[in-house]
Chain A
Amino acid sequence: MNKIIEKQQLSETVFKFVVEAPLIAKSRKPGNFVILRIGEKGERIPLTIVDSDLEKGTITLIVQTVGATSAKLCKLNTGDFITDLVGPLGKATHVSKVGTLLAMGGGVGNAPLLPIVKAFKEAGNRVITVLAARNKDLIILEDEMRKYSDELIVMTDDGSSGRKGLVTDGAEEVIKREKIDECIAIGPAIMMKFAAMLTKKYNIPTQCSLNTIMVDGTGMCGACRVTVGGETKFTCVDGPEFDAHKIDFDELLKRLGAYKKEETEAKNH
């Protein structure tokens, strides 16, 4: 079970894996994620299911190395096995015909964004996608996104690809230019916070997919809790997508740093 069928490097720190998981491939929907563990002493981490192939019984994962576990995963090769893989978890994205969707992706956030962009396009929407990263080498999935977008805008901090600026700069131009019915923003928490502030200004309904810390991913521990509209929610079972204008991003940003000290220790030993 859970054999790696294919591995591909997308950028310096981002890898794509195609993994055998026939049951998950069959039941997953856009927005769902898996939890996996590498080795008997490994930690459980969540990763979005980017794509699936029903015939081959595989799912696609895209992972950026940030700490111990993502680094361990990225060292695995075709033919290796993932110790534990469970899913699909989380609520699926609510996909419908809304008119025009503006999708914003930052960094590895493009991975969870891709299946959503694809689903909205297939549901008959006009899709405008703005991708952003620090520089040209860090932009991932550009070609795949282009395939499912009516228009694709690339933004980099240093102008090495597309235009110079932040994701919100590109998005605001689009919003000023034409009527946007719905937005979705996925990326680092700080980027989602500013994206949410932007679309709030223009009163456009917006979803964000949150990348909280998780342990079990089934609603058992509460490590993934966030405040949405003043209420505590569990990202793994109530989300991962929430109404961006109701999310307490400052709390989320603090909670993401909860284990910084411990994680640095884990990486160094």
Chain B
Amino acid sequence: MAANKIALFGKTRRLESEIDDFLDTVSQGGILFEETLRHYIDKGPDEFFEQRQQQISDIESNGDRLVKGIVRSLYSEMLIPESRGDVLSLLQDMDYLLDQFEKICFCVDVERPEVGDVSADLRKSFQDLAHVAVAAVEDLIRSVRAFFRDFNAVRDHLHKVHLLEEEADRLSLYLKRELFRSEFPLSRKLHLRQFIDMVDGIADEAEDVADRLAIYTIKRSL
């Protein structure tokens, strides 16, 4: 029995570190996503952009693998019976955000939107939008970490996610308004708007996950 006990705590520690690794992966994905987008806006689709895009793709695959392993362990070991469903949804939501980072970079690579002749102000605002969206995901990751270790602190991070989502909405609205006031043909306006919506969508999704996390936290509060 003693051996089993040690093995069981060993498994627990391994799973804890896998969850931490997964959240690190999502965070890395966010940082790379912001950097890749920033680079594309400044320099266009060069070799560096393609390298970064490949890196994000690898990170996304790693995230998928980690989530699958964690979920399998949670269910096969019958761990955290009360919170298992919530933890599963949470991890899948985080994985979805990671997928979005990859998906947007993939779209940029395939569609190659032209940004060279867009005004410096708009390009800067677009980079800011990406920064704010990634910051919302970063704060969401902090909340998720707190959910596992210190659920009383979850709220402290969640309110920042809401603030950042509002900021992302404001930036997105500004970008779209300026874009449609410009002299670009409608097809370009619509094309660029699609990317603005996609990046803003990351902040929206982070906020939705934050709302669900708030409910899981209430359920977990003893």
Is the pairing of A and B real? Answer: no
List residues of chain B with CB under 8 Å of any chain A CB: none
